[in-house]
């Protein structure tokens, strides 16, 4: 697995411990930590205020812009206001609230699935049936996401840049000492993020640059050994575009990513096959008692009852099948196939999300349609329902992993965080269907199929994600040969690269060479970033447009240059000076601020646009 420039620390700086229960709130009206009144306060604020706030914004953005910004940043900031009276311990309460609110927002964004049903002229089931289906799939998805947390967060230590940013925000806003030392960096990055987003919206020349402060910020967090491979993949795809058009893999005006996302997803699959095989061997060794550390050494806040979690996944998977077949009258075979794909893609998308801050949920949806088409499915309703399982699961499951990465840094109790997320799924399932009906009822243009009526004046309702879903569903039963070849090419590249990386990067002579001199360091950097770059990192270049990969790469290069200069001119801390934790470095704070700034801007744009329409 690729190593990031700024790995997670061995343990969170302030782990949750029994001593935390004795914290006395600064204000008398606040309930004591970890009492039922405390959790009631947090859950009420999150599910009645923060969750719906982020949910409405997410739905509006998906209906209008075709993408949505999860509400972790906004919820984390507002949650910190609620828990400020608990001091540094308040970061855990704020984390619980942002976890619940993010679950609501992630499911509300899935309201475009109902819009896709309308575009395709499908009969609309009663609202309660759709809520039941979405809720069951959401419960299944968070369970699968939790199963992969020990692998992706604890073992592979992926950054999850937005989760990284939220952790820094919560620590800074609830701890006066850290806030004083980090406010200029975090606040400056947030201000730059808001300004950049505003200029992008208002100034044509800036918009032409396709600059995204959150993309730059994510690159700053993960470092150049992750961002440079993505940038190289994007540049390579751009260079190959004329050739791909000549051989018929792309249309005359199609960009590389129209076929690149298939190659990238297959690359991740190929690399994941290698890692999963190695993990299986290690699991057998652990079962035989050869594990290096006993299970009892695991901190209490990390512990999860794995058998109970597996039972959760199996139980809710069965519930999805029952609801889909008995209530919605779908065939069991493809519903089970959708569940099986979800187990795979929550891992694949989780790796992509953890490295690049990009969760390719729409690409996973399209991939599932292609695979079902390969199996002979031609019914669009069945395809949409089965693929929606994958879409919802990858959305909430990867969101679960990102929230756990935040909890990893803070030392937040995982079981409690899981319970908050589950409550958010209940509210999100209800709001998802309700908001879809409200929006399409208030704005009839949302019900117009833009593929069939391209001349319709849609105003701000571009519905780009719905456009992609409906276009993919219409390809059912007509899987082209070149798409199959693209999948096989990506699978082969990813598998081969990861095998070579595992062999070469573990060879003692190679390790001595790259660690022994500046020349060795340069060779190691070139190998990691270009020659044998991580397939997980490179794949990001196939998911998004070339300008975004350039900005992502620029952020990583900026971090590497800054860190190199900082080491050369570093000075020892002055007496009494607050030293920030290692994972609250200057670049991580500024990068996290850029992510926060753009997220806040677009969330407020969504809310303002909705209020303006209602007014």
Mapped onto helix, strand or coil, the DSSP state of residue 345 is: helix
> Nearest 5°: phi and psi at 9?
-70, 160
Mean pLDDT of all residues in the chain? 78
Among 253-257, 496-500, 532-536, which stretch is predicted with the lowest mean pLDDT? 253-257
Does residue 73 contact residue 599 with C-beta atoms inside 8 Å? yes
Question: What mean pLDDT comes out for the span 163-189?
Answer: 72
Return d(Cα 514, Cα 505) in angstroms, integer: 10
| 3 in any annotated domain | no
Does residue 575 contact residue 303 with C-beta atoms inside 8 Å? no
Number of neighbouring beta carbons within 10 Å of residue 297: 8
* 208 Cβ neighbours under 8 A, 6+ residues apart: none
Dihedral, CA of residue 67, residue 71, residue 72 and residue 73, to nearest 10: 100
- Through-space distance between the first and last CA atoms of the chain, rounded to whole angstroms: 51
* 412 Cβ neighbours under 8 A, 6+ residues apart: 16, 91, 92, 95, 96, 301, 406
Burial call 5-31: b when 16+ CB within 10 Å, e when fewer: bbebeeebebebeeebeeeebeeeebe
Does residue 162 contact residue 355 with C-beta atoms inside 8 Å? no
Token pair belonging to 246? 């000549």
Q: At what angle do helices 306-322 and 127-147 cross, to 10 degrees?
A: 150
| 372 in any annotated domain | yes
Of residues 293 and 328, the one with the higher pLDDT is 328
Return d(Cα 465, Cα 330) in angstroms, integer: 24
Mapped onto helix, strand or coil, the DSSP state of residue 224 is: helix
**pLDDT single digits (tens) 86-139:** 777 788 888 888 888 888 888 888 888 888 888 888 777 888 988 999 999 999
| 58 in any annotated domain | yes
Token pair belonging to 71? 């509400």
Residue 319: per-residue pLDDT? 95
Return d(Cα 35, Cα 254) in angstroms, integer: 57
For the cut 60, the answer to whether the pLDDT of residue 33 exceeds it is: yes
Mapped onto helix, strand or coil, the DSSP state of residue 356 is: helix
| 29 in any annotated domain | no
Does residue 4 contact residue 225 with C-beta atoms inside 8 Å? yes
The 8-class DSSP code of residue 65 comes to T
Residue 323: per-residue pLDDT? 93
Return d(Cα 613, Cα 615) in angstroms, integer: 5
Count of domains forming the chain: 1
Q: At what angle do helices 51-64 and 90-108 cross, to 10 degrees?
A: 40
The 8-class DSSP code of residue 4 comes to P
**pLDDT single digits (tens) 241-288:** 999 999 988 888 888 877 887 788 788 778 877 877 776 676 566 555
Task: Provide DSSP, 428-487.
Answer: HHHHHHHHHHHHHHH-GGGGS-TTT-TT---TT---HHHHHHHHHHTTTT---HHHHHHH
Helix-strand-coil split of the chain, %, nearest 5? 75, 0, 25
**pLDDT single digits (tens) 425-468:** 988 898 888 888 877 777 787 787 766 776 666 555 666 677 66
**pLDDT single digits (tens) 346-398:** 888 888 777 766 677 777 787 788 788 878 878 888 888 888 898 899 888 88
Does residue 120 contact residue 382 with C-beta atoms inside 8 Å? no
Entry field: residues in the chain: 615
How would residue 603 be classed by pLDDT, with cut points 50, 70 and 90? low
How would residue 293 be classed by pLDDT, with cut points 50, 70 and 90? very low
Return d(Cα 610, Cα 52) in angstroms, integer: 13
Host domain of residue 40: 36-285+324-567+581-614
Token pair belonging to 600? 């806040």
The 8-class DSSP code of residue 253 comes to T
What global pTM score does this model have?
0.72
| 516 in any annotated domain | yes
Residue 321: per-residue pLDDT? 95
* 548 Cβ neighbours under 8 A, 6+ residues apart: 210, 212, 215, 234
Return d(Cα 403, Cα 397) in angstroms, integer: 10
The 8-class DSSP code of residue 28 comes to T
Contacts for 249-255: CB closer than 8 Å, 24+ residues apart: 249/482, 249/486, 255/545, 255/546
Residue showing tokens 């976890």? 99
Return d(Cα 26, Cα 175) in angstroms, integer: 13
Task: Please classify residue 511 by burial: count the beta carbons closer than 10 Å to its beta carbon, then call 0-12 exposed, 13-18 middle and 19+ buried.
Answer: middle
| 433 in any annotated domain | yes
For the cut 60, the answer to whether the pLDDT of residue 234 exceeds it is: yes
């Amino acid at each position: 697995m690729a190593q990031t420039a700024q790995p997670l620390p061995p343990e969170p700086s302030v782990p949750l411990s029994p001593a935390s229960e004795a914290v006395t709130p600064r204000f008398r009206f606040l309930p004591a930590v970890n009492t039922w009144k405390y959790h009631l306060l947090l859950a009420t604020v999150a599910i009645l205020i923060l969750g719906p706030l982020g949910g409405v914004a997410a739905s509006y953005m998906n209906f209008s812009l075709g993408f949505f910004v999860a509400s972790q940043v906004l919820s984390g900031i507002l949650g910190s206001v609620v828990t400020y009276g608990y001091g540094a311990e308040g970061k855990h309460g704020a984390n619980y609230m942002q976890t619940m609110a993010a679950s609501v927002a992630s499911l509300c964004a899935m309201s475009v699935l109902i819009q896709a049903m309308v575009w395709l002229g499908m009969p609309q089931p009663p609202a309660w049936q759709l809520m039941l289906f979405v809720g069951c799939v959401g419960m299944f998805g968070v369970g699968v996401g939790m199963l992969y947390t020990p692998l992706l967060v604890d073992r592979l230590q992926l950054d999850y840049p937005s989760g990284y940013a939220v952790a820094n925000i919560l620590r800074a806003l609830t701890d006066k000492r850290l806030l004083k030392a980090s406010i200029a960096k975090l606040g400056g990055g947030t201000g730059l993020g808001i300004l950049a987003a505003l200029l992008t919206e208002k100034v044509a020349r800036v918009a032409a640059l396709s600059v995204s402060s959150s993309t730059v910020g994510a690159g700053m967090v993960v470092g150049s050994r992750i961002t440079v491979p993505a940038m190289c993949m994007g540049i390579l795809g751009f260079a190959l575009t004329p050739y791909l058009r000549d051989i018929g893999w792309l249309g005359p005006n199609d960009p590389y990513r129209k076929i690149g996302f298939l190659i990238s997803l297959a690359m991740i699959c190929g690399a994941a096959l290698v890692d999963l095989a190695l993990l299986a061997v290690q699991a057998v060794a652990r079962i035989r008692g050869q594990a290096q550390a006993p299970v009892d050494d695991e901190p209490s806040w990390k512990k999860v009852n794995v058998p109970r979690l597996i039972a959760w996944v199996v139980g809710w998977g069965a519930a999805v099948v029952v609801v889909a077949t008995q209530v919605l009258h779908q065939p069991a075979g493809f519903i089970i196939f959708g569940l099986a794909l979800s187990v795979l893609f929550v891992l694949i998308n989780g790796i992509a999300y953890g490295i690049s801050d990009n969760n390719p949920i729409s690409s996973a949806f399209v991939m599932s349609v292609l695979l079902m088409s390969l199996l002979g499915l031609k019914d669009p309703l069945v395809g949409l329902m089965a693929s929606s399982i994958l879409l919802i699961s990858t959305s909430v499951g990867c969101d679960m992993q990102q929230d756990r990465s935040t909890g990893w840094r803070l030392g937040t109790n995982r079981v409690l965080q899981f319970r908050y997320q589950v409550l958010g799924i209940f509210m999100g399932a209800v709001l998802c269907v309700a908001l879809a009906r409200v929006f399409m009822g208030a704005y009839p243009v949302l019900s117009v199929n833009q593929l069939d009526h391209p001349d319709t004046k849609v105003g701000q309702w571009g519905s780009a994600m719905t456009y992609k879903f409906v276009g993919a569903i219409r390809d059912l039963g007509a899987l082209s040969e070149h798409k199959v070849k693209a999948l096989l090419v990506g699978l082969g590249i990813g598998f081969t690269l990861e095998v070579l990386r595992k062999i070469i990067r573990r060879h003692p002579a190679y390790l001595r060479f790259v660690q022994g001199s500046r020349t060795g360091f340069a060779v190691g950097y070139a190998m990691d970033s270009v020659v044998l770059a991580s397939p997980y990192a490179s794949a990001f270049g196939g998911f998004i447009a070339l300008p975004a990969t350039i900005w992502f790469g620029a952020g990583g290069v900026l971090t590497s240059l800054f860190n190199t200069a900082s080491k050369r001119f570093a000075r020892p801390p002055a007496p009494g000076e607050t030293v920030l934790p290692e994972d609250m470095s200057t670049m991580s704070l500024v990068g996290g601020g850029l992510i926060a700034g753009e997220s806040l801007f677009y969330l407020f744009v969504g809310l303002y646009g909705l209020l303006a329409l209602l007014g």
